[in-house]
Structure 1
């Protein structure tokens, strides 16, 4: 498999290449089990606010159950999600829904430098990032380059941003039953909310019969969604305007501009935050 993983990883993170010999996709996180719903922390008495079934139902569409639906098109993530401490022992700050303590949001973005000019393809470099609260700087990761691996693109960077977040830690250990991924990437949202199922049904072929681009990343994302489904953890996707994702976009570009990159593509995990 292609590529390189970044060394732009804060202390406490680890990278792992390969996956115990059971697949040739080094981005598959195998053997991981999410924390079952019944084992997630509930919080101290009097702290948890109840949520209604109608509120939870209104967050998605029956024809696209992974697509997050805001109350209006003008509703911003900051209108619904505010920083609060989670229910873990460490009480980490997270974005939680103002009316539901079990729904958490994260901003995600990816960037690729020198993508527009084919003459500079050998210099392309991707980066990704996510932001999970106001009081912390977020996390960023420089991605694999073009030498010895797949050519970097913004689409790959955006998908890697989702994987970076989902694979980093057991987010549901703070009490979340739903995680809303807010991104300005149409490629990620439309792929995750429907196209991926069609591709799988066609044996990873598009409508015209050509191979699906970035199959390694889509396979890894499908694996993460399967793990979450088995643990009754809903992963929802919300496409937002780019200007609403400015903080995360800046972090992703910083990561893409980093020249210090590891030589192997692999899963990133950690024990921070």
Structure 2
């Protein structure tokens, strides 16, 4: 990324970094994602036009819709998929360098190289990580990103629960190990990097019926061939 960095990090000694992450509050409260973030053209650092879902209140605030799905969730032959999109679906494949719509199979291994079970919750987190890593968002006249997902697990996990998990050594209130720790830690690292540019990331839990495009794409990803190694989706 070519963006200017700002050192405004908060680090808790002897723990992973915990960025300040907020839940997005729509205004008006019953507004849909497309009502608040209609597709608009902006320009990146090279003055190239780029069509994104941009806030009606702030042109530098964009929306990315994400989802994860799993066939035979938690079963021995479970297969999970992930998806995200950041511009109108009908423009898919008009620009190979900026497809706007990504769908992929959840990898068997996580960022640490350890093998994990395929689950819908894991796919949901993975989709967010892939979306935030997909482009140099700070080069696209973007200072804020809202992740729209129907996953309470993702939204509450990153905005409410993760700080407690870290302080307790990644153990839940019931004394169990936090599931998907590797992906939560990876997501925290991605958010930390974006915050330094600075790009603020918020999370918006939307009704499932408003996330049908990403849901269908995630299910399609679950049907793709098995992928062993963790990789980025640029």
1:263 aligns with: 228
Coordinate RMSD, CA, aligned: 2.0
- Counterpart CA distance in 2 for 1:79 and 1:171 is 22
2:80 aligns with: 126
1:8 aligns with: none
Aligned pairs for 1:128-167 (under 5 A) are: 128-134=82-88, 135-137=90-92, 138-145=101-108, 149-167=115-133
1:86 CA displacement: 2.3
The match for 2:71 among 113, 121, 125 is 113
2:3 aligns with: 35
1:145 CA displacement: 4.5
Q: Structure 1 unaligned segments of length 5 or more: list them.
A: 1-32, 39-63
Distance 1:194 1:84, change over 3 A: same
1:37 CA displacement: 6.7
Q: Size of the alignment, in residue pairs? A: 206
- Counterpart CA distance in 2 for 1:229 and 1:267 is 22
Aligned pairs for 1:46-125 (under 5 A) are: 65-88=21-44, 89-115=47-73, 121-125=75-79
Structure 1 residues 97-150: Cα deviation after superposition (integer angstroms, max 9, x where no partner)? 1121110001100000011xx6xx22111101011111433111111249x821
Contact 1:34 1:231 in 2 (8 A): no
1:228 CA displacement: 1.5
- Is 1:246 the counterpart of 2:212 in the alignment? yes
Normalised by the length of structure 1, the TM-score is: 0.71
Contact 1:124 1:145 in 2 (8 A): no
- Counterpart CA distance in 2 for 1:36 and 1:191 is 29
- Deviating beyond 4 angstroms after TM superposition, the runs of 4 or more aligned structure 1 residues are none
- Is 1:174 the counterpart of 2:140 in the alignment? yes
Normalised by the length of structure 2, the TM-score is: 0.82
1:233 aligns with: 199
Contact 2:108 2:227 in 1 (8 A): no
What SS class does the counterpart of residue 176 from structure 2 fall into? coil
Contact 1:159 1:188 in 2 (8 A): yes
- Counterpart CA distance in 1 for 2:105 and 2:40 is 29
Whichever of the two has the greater Rg, that structure is 1
- Counterpart CA distance in 2 for 1:169 and 1:251 is 19
Structure 1 residues 225-261: Cα deviation after superposition (integer angstroms, max 9, x where no partner)? 1111222210000000000000110100001011x23
- Counterpart CA distance in 1 for 2:42 and 2:76 is 43
